[in-house]
Amino acid sequence: MKRILYFLICMLSIISFSHIEKNINVYSKAMKKNIPVTVVLPDDYNENNKYSTIYALHGWSGSNRNYVEKVSIGKLADMYGVIYVCPDGGYDSWYVDSEINKKSKYETFVAKELVDYIENNYFTYKDYKQRAITGLSMGGFGAFYVSINNPKTFGAIGSMSGGFDIEYFKLNWGITKYIDSNFEKYNIKDLATKLIFCGSKIIFDCGTSDFFIEANRELHNKLVKLNVPHDYIEREGSHSWVYWANSIKYQTLFFVNNFESNKK
Amino acid sequence: MKRILYFLICMLSIISFSHIEKNINVYSKAMKKNIPVTVVLPDDYNENNKYSTIYALHGWSGSNRNYVEKVSIGKLADMYGVIYVCPDGGYDSWYVDSEINKKSKYETFVAKELVDYIENNYFTYKDYKQRAITGLSMGGFGAFYVSINNPKTFGAIGSMSGGFDIEYFKLNWGITKYIDSNFEKYNIKDLATKLIFCGSKIIFDCGTSDFFIEANRELHNKLVKLNVPHDYIEREGSHSWVYWANSIKYQTLFFVNNFESNKK
Amino acid sequence: MKRILYFLICMLSIISFSHIEKNINVYSKAMKKNIPVTVVLPDDYNENNKYSTIYALHGWSGSNRNYVEKVSIGKLADMYGVIYVCPDGGYDSWYVDSEINKKSKYETFVAKELVDYIENNYFTYKDYKQRAITGLSMGGFGAFYVSINNPKTFGAIGSMSGGFDIEYFKLNWGITKYIDSNFEKYNIKDLATKLIFCGSKIIFDCGTSDFFIEANRELHNKLVKLNVPHDYIEREGSHSWVYWANSIKYQTLFFVNNFESNKK
Amino acid sequence: MKRILYFLICMLSIISFSHIEKNINVYSKAMKKNIPVTVVLPDDYNENNKYSTIYALHGWSGSNRNYVEKVSIGKLADMYGVIYVCPDGGYDSWYVDSEINKKSKYETFVAKELVDYIENNYFTYKDYKQRAITGLSMGGFGAFYVSINNPKTFGAIGSMSGGFDIEYFKLNWGITKYIDSNFEKYNIKDLATKLIFCGSKIIFDCGTSDFFIEANRELHNKLVKLNVPHDYIEREGSHSWVYWANSIKYQTLFFVNNFESNKK
């Protein structure tokens, strides 16, 4: 009997269930334009339930399609029953409200407009402790930057191979089109003290062959000295999708554990 | 219809399925005595399948019952479909074949006798790449020590809050009852070069408030300089079951990912 | 018979073949004047073939004649079948488009005007991966500076005894006639992040008795930390033609290997 | 006419010429056994000429066939007109006259017996300045160790990814089967002062992802402090044949330049 039921379940999970990918546009008042967003719903998504959300920010030159195309977040959504929200962050916006390019306001979009839209249109918890944000490279910077400047918006903050030291790399990846002064307001190491008592859990990682490894080590060392709780991981790897396809599994586990412990 | 089936599945998974815990004795020829071992089988365990195994070594003053009593490894066994094997490693054996106490031969027991017994009595893969070993504190030391001295026995090696630098801590935890000279044959940092080309994946972690943190950092830095691939995690936490209950989830994810990639 | 043929070949290679040296003027629109350029063609140069090119920049107070007069680049051209292009870079232009002396625009000349001229007038590949640039002292700085500011122009970048840290040496060699502010836009160490993902291979060397040795070490260490692939060589030697006559052989080997691997 | 001759030459070089590979046995009196040796002669090899020789030592677990099978030394022999001599150095002899295993006397074999044999049986120069030695990994150690202990035997000494710090790695690669005490007589860093006024040119290199990188950096720094002339190269790469296939080209260029300058 048990065997038959188990078989039935397996069949069902293959036939009936699988995550749902939605490609939508979310209007940004701040930027007066539609922003493409990919939302990944878990296979069991239904109105009788409430779901935690993980916002995943792409890297430089990427798009809202990156995580669904290059990383199996659909499987992770199913496995853990969470929603992923993947906004388009522009080619090189660095997820800031730019003082230079006044039309680029991705900080506002991600932290306010997008969160509002998602929670009004999907069956989510309305509690910031059931919301997490992460990102890779430029998106890792973005996840930290947006969270630091918008406390009590994301209950957990992650970064994969994050470009934390934006000033050091200012010649690259279009940074100076959006930020060209007051770097101390943007370098995550300079903002690190704001993570004291921030109320959010923190996880970040970097590959030992990545050009961002020293910037990540620097932030880790600073947070250790400040006794700011955080998970820090170094592993073999470079700045690549192979690395991120692995990393996202651990980041998701971290976020889900945090969601669970906050439900109790 | 789908809703009903889903409900059915949920009910079933609660009622019908759950991991099986076996408390057995495994005879050690080397030590001429029975060693208590707790084996945790996943809920779907059956003869038509083969299973990967995770050997989990307890810490000083612990027992084979630690992991099932203090950490939810049963849930992890179900979630990932793996077998956990938790041997009793004695009160303070440090998992070595002691040169002082000739009756204490836990290295031989774990690496040879126990692995043989498990693979002859359970539906396991017979491939070392489908075997992992980890441990906490004394057991973290043990997992590394046993693996280093028995190449191609465990395809992945883990440690949680490992007491790697056994010489530095020799006044504690009964160490000198088993090891009191030739510490360079026991300190993991001194054995680190043997991890070059060892063919096993490596993960270790430590809490930033743990007395073993510097020993772990030292090993990490040494392996970075030697370019030996490994995952290294630092996170908030002390030498406690709260820490290990969290850590074991990430270690298991690491092992399962490795099992999967070795099946391809 | 074979012996006779071999003798014949040897004779022929001495008598009939040898590289061709062309001393030409290339008009620079940017500077509104003719720039002397020495082009060295390999002995087998003919219209049925295509050739890779190595641009070689001279040092302070030098001229386009330096490489043919003081270094056996003719033999290297024959040996490897490549074209060397040796422009006159002015007495102390530092190969920049000067913000002070508006008439001095050697960056534009080398990266754009000269490359265009050469590829329109000689049987060269039209692919940047078949183009390399190197230089000595001021020219080593120039090769890096010009390449960094003109991505996808040279597939390999070299420097011999390069004066990388232009700010540190600003009292010397006429530097402040061309650059006297914004040194962070000129110091190669400050530009180093632009070498991430630059798509060009990198080689540089310096003599251990050279006044530029520390500047070279600093750049090497920085690139190691950034995980930017590069060949770095230290060898006995000072800032002299003896050193460069040796170094150019290794740089050429590096470029030729790169040309070959890019033809596959 | 010139075109025709050129064509003729090309044809001839394809048809008539190519390096000759000889697999011979050389009897070692010291070890009372035949040692397999692969000798690579350049295409123009003939009795009217004299040839310089490059001895190339393989790594741990390798054989005399390694260089001909995994690296294009035949082409290099043709290109530069030199002879390569590749002895079998045992599975893990470390090229020493072992104090432990009295039957293992590879230092004597390489430095005395093999050189004697080669110079009595091939058309070589009889001058140590026309002899070079290099090796990879264990062989890099061997090349330095043998040269240091046999002055005026090799006019140039090379190492690729050399395992210089034999004590640090003593747990690996069978080292303690041959050396288990007096490591200060074997560590190259401890022997470094013997390279002062040694009369031989020195070149060594290592990949930045190699486990031997720190040992190579240590030797380089020591030689810099001693003002012992040497070429030192770091480049991207690990402990692999891809790395050595590249490295051997530069090492050979170095040796050939040295041969040439010593002929003048």
Cα(B255)–Cα(B250) distance, integer angstroms: 9
pLDDT of residue D236: 96
Burial (CB < 10 A; 0-12, 13-18, 19+), residue C65, is middle
The separation between CA A86 and the C-alpha centre of its own chain, rounded to angstroms, equals 8
What residue ranges in B48-194 does DSSP mark as E strands? 53-57, 83-87, 131-135, 156-160
pLDDT of residue A264: 77
CB distance C225–A210 less than 8 Å?
no
ipTM of the complex: 0.92
- Which of A71, A99, A94, A91 has its CA nearest to residue A252? A71
B-interface mutation test, from A13, A48, A232, most B Cβ less than 10 A away = A232
The whole-angstrom distance between C45's CA and the closest CA on chain D is 11
pLDDT of residue C2: 55
D181 has pLDDT over 90? yes
Nearest to C233 among D208, D233, D236 (CB): D233
Show which subunits contact D, needing at least 3 CB pairs below 8 angstroms: B, C
Cα dihedral sign, A211-A217-A222-A228: positive
- Chain D neighbors of C249, CB-CB under 8 A: 253, 257
Q: In which band, very low, low, confident or very high, does the pLDDT at D90 lie, cut at 50, 70 and 90? A: very high
Q: In which band, very low, low, confident or very high, does the pLDDT at D259 lie, cut at 50, 70 and 90? A: very high
Q: pLDDT tens digits, residue range B3-57? A: 565 555 555 555 555 899 999 999 999 999 999 999 999 999 999 999 999 999 9
Nearest to B228 among D171, D211, D214 (CB): D211
- Chain A neighbors of B3, CB-CB under 8 A: 46
Nearest-Cα residue of chain A relative to residue B261: A246
Nearest to A214 among C196, C225, C228 (CB): C225
The whole-angstrom distance between C226's CA and the closest CA on chain A is 4
Q: Please list, in sequence order, all residues whose beta carbon lies within 8 angstroms of the beta carbon of residue C8, skipping any fewer than 6 positions away.
A: none
Cα(D41)–Cα(D124) distance, integer angstroms: 11
Q: In one letter, which amino acid is D95?
A: Y
A-interface mutation test, from C184, C194, C196, most A Cβ less than 10 A away = C196
Q: In which band, very low, low, confident or very high, does the pLDDT at B245 lie, cut at 50, 70 and 90? A: very high
pLDDT of residue A72: 87
Rounded average pLDDT per 10-residue block, chain A, 264 residues: 55 64 98 98 96 98 97 95 98 97 98 98 97 98 98 98 96 94 96 94 98 98 97 98 98 98 90
The separation between CA D123 and the C-alpha centre of its own chain, rounded to angstroms, equals 19
The whole-angstrom distance between B151's CA and the closest CA on chain D is 12
C16 has pLDDT over 60? no
pLDDT of residue C17: 58
Q: pLDDT tens digits, residue range C43-61? A: 999 999 999 999 999 999 9
D11 has pLDDT over 70? no
Share of chain C above pLDDT 90, in %: 91
In degrees rounded to 5, what are phi and psi of residue B97? -85, 100
Nearest to D210 among B190, B194, B227 (CB): B227
Nearest to A169 among C193, C225, C227 (CB): C193
- Which of C109, C195, C199 has its CA nearest to residue C154? C199
The whole-angstrom distance between A50's CA and the closest CA on chain C is 43
D264 has pLDDT over 80? no
The whole-angstrom distance between A106's CA and the closest CA on chain B is 30
Decide if A258 contacts A229 (C-beta within 8 A): no
D15 has pLDDT over 60? no
Nearest-Cα residue of chain B relative to residue A251: B250
- Chain D neighbors of B226, CB-CB under 8 A: 211, 214
Nearest to B194 among D171, D214, D238 (CB): D171
- Chain D neighbors of B194, CB-CB under 8 A: 171-172
Cα(D161)–Cα(D141) distance, integer angstroms: 9
pLDDT of residue A209: 97
Q: Please list, in sequence order, all residues whose beta carbon lies within 8 angstroms of the beta carbon of residue C45, skipping any fewer than 6 positions away.
A: C20, C51, C83, C123
Half-sphere exposure of residue A108: CA atoms within 13 angstroms, side-chain side: 13
CB distance D249–C257 less than 8 Å?
yes
Nearest-Cα residue of chain B relative to residue D172: B194
Q: Which residues of A touch C (CB under 8 A)?
A: 168-169, 171-172, 209-211, 213-214, 238
Tell me the pairing of strands A156-160 and C231-235: unpaired
D161 has pLDDT over 70? yes
- Chain B neighbors of A253, CB-CB under 8 A: 249-250, 253
Q: pLDDT tens digits, residue range C129-152? A: 999 999 999 999 999 999 999 999
Cα(C177)–Cα(C179) distance, integer angstroms: 6
Helices marked H in D65-170: 66-70, 73-80, 106-108, 115-121, 138-149
CB distance A249–B246 less than 8 Å?
no
In degrees rounded to 5, what are phi and psi of residue A22? -120, 125
Decide if A124 contacts A50 (C-beta within 8 A): yes
- Which of C98, C97, C21 has its CA nearest to residue C64? C21
Half-sphere exposure of residue C193: CA atoms within 13 angstroms, side-chain side: 20
D164 has pLDDT over 70? yes
pLDDT of residue B17: 58
| Average of per-residue pLDDT across D136-157 | 98
